[in-house]
Amino acid sequence: MKMFLICRDLHTKILFGLSGIEAVVVSNEKELKEEYEKAINNKEIAILILEDIFFDSIDINIDTPIITFVEGIKF
């Protein structure tokens, strides 16, 4: 089982990557929905981490994986 991050910027991806967490950077809502669907259908992912800005953009009413939100970098 592994953790996976969907984020908006390369800095966040790199920081989480240093702790061994795989990540993908998305730049628009279409990419977010595509990567989210891939992640929730990947049975290897136990914990899905999303930036807080994505909270209203996705349906979090699913059984697995566990979804958690982190505050993204503010520019």
When divided into structural domains, the chain yields a total of 1
Look at residue 75 and tell me if it is in a domain.
no
Domain that holds residue 9: 2-70
Q: Is 22 helix (H, G, I), strand (E, B) or coil?
A: strand
Q: What CATH number does residue 40 fall under?
A: 3.40.50.10580
CA pair distance 75, 73, nearest whole angstrom:
6
DSSP summary character for residue 21: -
Radius of gyration of the chain (CA): 11
74 has pLDDT over 80: no
Instruction: Tell whether 48 is covered by a domain.
Output: yes
**Amino acid letter for position 55:** F
Residue 69 CA, distance from chain mean position:
8
Residue 1 in this model has a pLDDT that exceeds 90: no
Q: Encode pLDDT of 7-50 as tens digits.
A: 999 999 999 999 999 999 999 999 999 999 999 999 999 999 99
Residue 15 lies in a domain: yes
From first CA to last CA, the distance across the chain in angstroms is: 33
Question: Tokens at residue 48, please?
Answer: 């899905």
